[in-house]
Chain A
Amino acid sequence: MTDPMKHERQSMDIDIVCVGFGPAVGGFLTTLSRAMVDANGQTLLESKTTPGLPLQVVCYERADDIGFGVSGVVTKGRSLRQTFPDLDLSQIPMAHRVEHEKVVYLMDPIGASRRSWLLRIADGCARLAHKILPFVPFIQEHAVELPYIPPFMSKEEGMVLSIGQFNQWVGSQLMGSGTVQIWPGMPVNRALTENGKVVGVRLVDQGTDKSGKPDAGYMPGMDIRAQLTVLGDGPVGPVGRELNDQFGMPDGNHQRDWAVGMKAVVELPEDTPLKPGTVLHTFGYPEPEIFGFLYVYPNRLASLGIFIPTWMDSPVRTSYRYLQYWMMHPYLWRYLKGGTLKSWGAKTLQESGKRGETILAGDGYARIGEGSGSTNVLTGSGVDEAWATGVQLAEGVIELAKAGKPFTKENLDGAYVRRRRASWVEKEGRIAKKSRDGFQTDFLAGLFGMGLTGMTGGLLNFPGTIKRPYERVPSYEQYYRGKISRDELNRIKKEARAANVAVHDALLDASGWPKVPYDGKLLVSHQDALLLGGKVQAAGGYADHVLFLNPRLCEQCETKLCISMCSAQAITHGENDGVPQFDREKCIHCGACFWNCVKPRDGDPEQSNIDFRAGSGGLHSAEN
């Protein structure tokens, strides 16, 4: 055991420290770096900590490299094109202009999906219409292609991107500029605060055991003291969430709506008719609340996936198996059959949008991107907005630095928040704020609500009370009433615990979902997807980042949705069905566990009994 007293915590002074490297910080650093020196390399924005040099700007990223995650996006790319007016998409791997976009309602070809009677009637009508009018091209046996895409949803003239590749492209340009530094593999543990001000960040300790206690090679995380801390650590970033706890949320705001996006990159069959730039949005299947996407990149690659939202009121939120059913839907399978899984991954999305907006600036810190509430939940757009908020902050910082003004709340409100409030991100975010409230009631109300909000520009919205995630999860008994008997349920749960596997597979089997016919290429077991889709990086010497806070609550928990929902099978049954076990070497850092825990945290009903802290590593997708 190492004596921690022997290891003094080191400290470093810089001007600006950024937490997390995603689109928001990409936008921030790109804009800032262009203003730091002139064409001759002369300093334009001088450092206060190192006089004579340009601003000292460092970004720390948790993953072992930038752009490791698998994430496909379709975006109008307005802010990206503003930053890069001559953007040549052919220079970015897996990027293409949107050429052809469709929104498709998928019916249930199996009969296992949980559909309301109203939805069943609608499905019946569509099938009847197909029989009577087989020549109508947009109505097919199991799917309806919407003949019209509302303008608020359309992404035409936009672009499809791999965020992993895009981040690498942005990162390489930033590194090439030599003005800012990006350090992956370096998680930030927490913000440093003094008298209500953020004065920098503390990096995670290295050389610890699982519980965080000093072990061989112990090195206390360095304190990075900075005049401005920029938080762009995304929806599950522990530093941003810690500041939410410390400084609170603006009145009436909360982050209760989440979704996990499970995604894959697939090489399409050689004879695929899908052209690069094709965009398919789906809804309705495998469960009505599950939305899906398929974006076609050059070289027969496609990014595809599904979203499992908090408002899918189910204790069986198994993203992986649902992803397979979604792929096997006849409408999609005709394109995917014969394809090969190239990579796989998952990510949590903050779906509260404007309602989840945090305090945007305080003394010594500013927040940008998805974690700050910039995502537009009506248009389903987040990257463009995140990038824009990064640009807005950079413009504010440049203004303040040129004027020699400190990064106080007042100055940041004037220079950054004012810009954000005056922008299209704010205007469109306000329209979208209540657009998904209908989903709190049910799926059809949600669709109607989105349409209503979108078509009236936010003047009319379908009402809904936003519940906390754990308030939405029924027990297995409630959910399967009439479908699986109580005895059968008990047997399934018992067997799952004995075999130490998640209960969802047996439940889906028992409720009418067929076995997935593995083909070894695209339809593979969950563990094979983990192996084929990438590699989990979990270097030793770091503490576990998933913590079960109150063991008693876990012992009382019957549902243990954390096990079923875990995207990587990293959470398994604990001893005597008590506190679940966490295996960091499998964790892909999707963050689904903390918002899927069904037990409220002691003393804080807005949070759950699972804490998701700063952790090292995560999934390194093979082709992202």
Chain B
Amino acid sequence: MSSGFHIVVCGSLVPDPLQTLEPIAGPAGPALKNEMMLPSVLDPWAAHALYEAAHLAKTAAGSKVWLVSLGPKAKLQQLMMTIAQKAPFELVVVDGSASGFTDPFEAAAALASAIEKIPGLDRSRLLVFGGCASASRDASVTMQMIGEQLGIADQFLGVDELTVQPSGAFKVLERIEGGQYQASECAGAPAVLAWATGNLPEPPNNPQVGMANMRGIMPALQKAQPAKVGAEGVTFAKVELPQQKRETRIVKDVPVEEIAKEIITWIKG
């Protein structure tokens, strides 16, 4: 493979998953309370895809990485400060909600449309990367639908390893049930790879990478097109996140068995 891959990573922000999130009924459908104030991170699944993409681009000469992000552009701007130091990429922004209440089909349509419009993208060398799910919605179908809309038939889900042959063909390890891997061989691009965790650690922050990325980030944010990815026409009968139960208390002079029993009763509710 002499000319390398054109790798498009679909990835956006999610509210930092360790927060206590509160769903509310917003003016445009379900939303998260204080959504624009919540600290956000790059979706951990998509982050793995981005790191794998950067690694592949480094090893397959002539490759290039795009990051296509669907999210509120003000929040994406802030997110870029933290991830643009990690890996070289060209940013494409689609301005829309990333709350997790969006419809996966609409999200996929918006992303596929943005990918189609990338100037100079060579479909014969195209690998579409993304997370196998998102930490906000966990629909696990968006990448497949992007592939469908782009007409890419070779799709791999829950990928942990990608090994590229000199010919451009590649082997993929996909997670399947029972803790097993399915090994596949693919003749080459185009393909969709929805990553699980991969094998790579988070790259260190590299100031030079950041400086280089930033030249294209602000123009990309300014060019962002709004996307209609809400939940229009959809009624959520109930929106609820798992309730956090926290009843920490300190007891003394209580036998361990009693404490264990009490905890079990508490867990059972």
Binding site for B on A (CB under 8 A): 10, 12, 58, 60, 64-66, 68, 93-94, 165, 168, 171-172, 175-176, 178, 181-186, 203, 206-207, 216-217, 219, 222, 224, 299, 518, 520, 524-525, 527-528, 532, 535, 539, 541, 620-624
Residue A178 contacts which of B80, B81, B202, B218 (CB distance < 8 angstroms)?
A: B218
Cα A185 to Cα B82 in complex, Å, equals 7
Q: CB-CB < 8 A to A94: which residues of B?
A: 37
Judged by a CB distance under 8 angstroms, whether B16 is at the interface is yes
Residue A12 contacts which of B16, B204, B211 (CB distance < 8 angstroms)?
A: B211
> Could you tell me if B207 and A175 are in contact, using CB atoms closer than 8 angstroms?
no
Nearest-neighbour CB distance to chain B for A41, whole angstroms, equals 12
Cα A64 to Cα B214 in complex, Å, equals 17
With A176-B218, A217-B201: A66-B207 Cβ-Cβ less than 8 Å = no
Nearest-neighbour CB distance to chain A for B55, whole angstroms, equals 12
Q: CB-CB < 8 A to A620: which residues of B?
A: 16, 39
> Could you tell me if A532 and B205 are in contact, using CB atoms closer than 8 angstroms?
no
With A65-B81, A65-B82, A175-B81: A520-B247 Cβ-Cβ less than 8 Å = yes
**Can you name 23 A-B pairs with beta carbons within 8 Å?**
A12-B207, A12-B211, A60-B207, A66-B81, A93-B34, A168-B78, A175-B80, A181-B214, A183-B81, A206-B205, A219-B204, A219-B206, A222-B207, A518-B249, A518-B250, A520-B247, A520-B248, A524-B246, A527-B248, A532-B20, A622-B39, A623-B34, A623-B38
Cα A219 to Cα B247 in complex, Å, equals 44
> Could you tell me if B214 and A184 are in contact, using CB atoms closer than 8 angstroms?
no
> Could you tell me if B85 and A58 are in contact, using CB atoms closer than 8 angstroms?
no
**Which partner residue on chain B sits nearest A616 by CB separation?**
B205
Cα A6 to Cα B160 in complex, Å, equals 29
Residue B81 contacts which of A184, A207, A524, A624 (CB distance < 8 angstroms)?
A: A184
Those of B42-98 within 8 Å (CB) of chain A: 74, 77-78, 80-82, 85
Q: What bracket does the count of chain B residues touching chain A fall in?
A: 20 to 34
Q: CB-CB < 8 A to B19: which residues of A?
A: 535, 622
> Could you tell me if B78 and A518 are in contact, using CB atoms closer than 8 angstroms?
no
> Could you tell me if A528 and B246 are in contact, using CB atoms closer than 8 angstroms?
yes
Judged by a CB distance under 8 angstroms, whether B104 is at the interface is no
Cα A65 to Cα B82 in complex, Å, equals 7
Judged by a CB distance under 8 angstroms, whether B113 is at the interface is no
With A176-B218, A620-B39: A207-B204 Cβ-Cβ less than 8 Å = yes
> Could you tell me if A65 and B39 are in contact, using CB atoms closer than 8 angstroms?
yes
Residue B82 contacts which of A12, A184, A203 (CB distance < 8 angstroms)?
A: A184
Nearest-neighbour CB distance to chain A for B21, whole angstroms, equals 10
Q: CB-CB < 8 A to B221: which residues of A?
A: 176
Nearest-neighbour CB distance to chain B for A309, whole angstroms, equals 29
Those of B151-200 within 8 Å (CB) of chain A: none
Cα A249 to Cα B118 in complex, Å, equals 56
Judged by a CB distance under 8 angstroms, whether B210 is at the interface is yes
Q: CB-CB < 8 A to B20: which residues of A?
A: 532, 622
Cα A299 to Cα B19 in complex, Å, equals 19
Cα A37 to Cα B134 in complex, Å, equals 40
Residue A182 contacts which of B37, B81, B204, B246 (CB distance < 8 angstroms)?
A: B81
**Which partner residue on chain A sits nearest B36 by CB separation?**
A93
Judged by a CB distance under 8 angstroms, whether B254 is at the interface is no
Judged by a CB distance under 8 angstroms, whether B267 is at the interface is no
> Could you tell me if A535 and B18 are in contact, using CB atoms closer than 8 angstroms?
yes
> Could you tell me if B85 and A183 are in contact, using CB atoms closer than 8 angstroms?
yes
Cα A171 to Cα B80 in complex, Å, equals 12
Q: CB-CB < 8 A to B247: which residues of A?
A: 520
> Could you tell me if A185 and B205 are in contact, using CB atoms closer than 8 angstroms?
yes
**Which partner residue on chain A sits nearest B40 by CB separation?**
A65
Q: CB-CB < 8 A to B208: which residues of A?
A: 10, 12, 222
- Sample of 4 more A-B contacts, CB < 8 Å, known A176-B221, A520-B247: A175-B218, A176-B218, A524-B248, A622-B20
Cα A186 to Cα B221 in complex, Å, equals 23
Q: CB-CB < 8 A to A182: which residues of B?
A: 81
> Could you tell me if B77 and A175 are in contact, using CB atoms closer than 8 angstroms?
yes
Those of B1-47 within 8 Å (CB) of chain A: 16, 18-20, 34, 36-39
> Could you tell me if A525 and B248 are in contact, using CB atoms closer than 8 angstroms?
yes
With A65-B39, A68-B39: A181-B34 Cβ-Cβ less than 8 Å = no
With A222-B208, A539-B202: A172-B77 Cβ-Cβ less than 8 Å = yes
Nearest-neighbour CB distance to chain B for A209, whole angstroms, equals 14
Q: CB-CB < 8 A to B207: which residues of A?
A: 12, 58, 60, 183, 186, 203, 222, 224
> Could you tell me if B210 and A206 are in contact, using CB atoms closer than 8 angstroms?
no
Nearest-neighbour CB distance to chain A for B194, whole angstroms, equals 25
Q: CB-CB < 8 A to A621: which residues of B?
A: 39
What are the nearest 3 A-B pairs in CB distance? A206-B204, A178-B218, A219-B204
Cα A206 to Cα B206 in complex, Å, equals 10
Cα A492 to Cα B82 in complex, Å, equals 46
Cα A175 to Cα B19 in complex, Å, equals 26
> Could you tell me if B210 and A183 are in contact, using CB atoms closer than 8 angstroms?
yes
Most A CB atoms within 10 A — which of B19, B77, B201, B218? B19
Most A CB atoms within 10 A — which of B81, B248, B249? B81
> Could you tell me if A541 and B210 are in contact, using CB atoms closer than 8 angstroms?
no
Cα A524 to Cα B20 in complex, Å, equals 15
Q: CB-CB < 8 A to A66: which residues of B?
A: 78, 81
Q: CB-CB < 8 A to B211: which residues of A?
A: 12, 58, 181
**Which partner residue on chain B sits nearest A176 by CB separation?**
B77
With A12-B211, A224-B207, A518-B249: A172-B78 Cβ-Cβ less than 8 Å = yes
Cα A66 to Cα B40 in complex, Å, equals 12
Most B CB atoms within 10 A — which of A185, A219, A299, A532? A185
Residue A185 contacts which of B74, B77, B85 (CB distance < 8 angstroms)?
A: B85
> Could you tell me if A535 and B16 are in contact, using CB atoms closer than 8 angstroms?
yes
Q: CB-CB < 8 A to A299: which residues of B?
A: 34
**Which partner residue on chain B sits nearest A204 by CB separation?**
B205
Q: CB-CB < 8 A to A93: which residues of B?
A: 34, 36-37
Cα A222 to Cα B209 in complex, Å, equals 12
**Which partner residue on chain A sits nearest B39 by CB separation?**
A620
> Could you tell me if A183 and B205 are in contact, using CB atoms closer than 8 angstroms?
yes
Q: CB-CB < 8 A to A203: which residues of B?
A: 207
**Which partner residue on chain B sits nearest A221 by CB separation?**
B207
Residue A165 contacts which of B37, B80, B201 (CB distance < 8 angstroms)?
A: B37
Residue A217 contacts which of B39, B204, B214 (CB distance < 8 angstroms)?
A: B204
Question: What 0/1 readout, one digit per residue, does chain B (125-138) give for beta carbons within 8 Å of chain A?
Answer: 00000000000000
**Which partner residue on chain A sits nearest B77 by CB separation?**
A175
Cα A206 to Cα B209 in complex, Å, equals 15
Cα A172 to Cα B40 in complex, Å, equals 14
Q: CB-CB < 8 A to A12: which residues of B?
A: 207-208, 211
Nearest-neighbour CB distance to chain A for B193, whole angstroms, equals 24
Nearest-neighbour CB distance to chain B for A397, whole angstroms, equals 21
Cα A622 to Cα B207 in complex, Å, equals 27
Nearest-neighbour CB distance to chain A for B40, whole angstroms, equals 9
> Could you tell me if A175 and B246 are in contact, using CB atoms closer than 8 angstroms?
no
Q: CB-CB < 8 A to B204: which residues of A?
A: 206-207, 217, 219, 541
Nearest-neighbour CB distance to chain A for B248, whole angstroms, equals 5
> Could you tell me if A171 and B37 are in contact, using CB atoms closer than 8 angstroms?
no
Residue A171 contacts which of B78, B202, B218 (CB distance < 8 angstroms)?
A: B78
**Which partner residue on chain B sits nearest A205 by CB separation?**
B204
Cα A622 to Cα B37 in complex, Å, equals 9
Q: CB-CB < 8 A to A184: which residues of B?
A: 81-82
> Could you tell me if A518 and B248 are in contact, using CB atoms closer than 8 angstroms?
yes
Nearest-neighbour CB distance to chain B for A64, whole angstroms, equals 6
With A183-B210, A224-B207, A520-B247: A64-B82 Cβ-Cβ less than 8 Å = yes
Q: CB-CB < 8 A to A171: which residues of B?
A: 78, 81
Q: CB-CB < 8 A to B249: which residues of A?
A: 518
Q: CB-CB < 8 A to A518: which residues of B?
A: 248-250
Cα A216 to Cα B203 in complex, Å, equals 11
Cα A268 to Cα B200 in complex, Å, equals 44
Cα A620 to Cα B41 in complex, Å, equals 11
> Could you tell me if B77 and A181 are in contact, using CB atoms closer than 8 angstroms?
no
Q: CB-CB < 8 A to B39: which residues of A?
A: 65, 68, 620-622, 624
Nearest-neighbour CB distance to chain B for A532, whole angstroms, equals 7
Residue B248 contacts which of A176, A178, A528, A535 (CB distance < 8 angstroms)?
A: A528
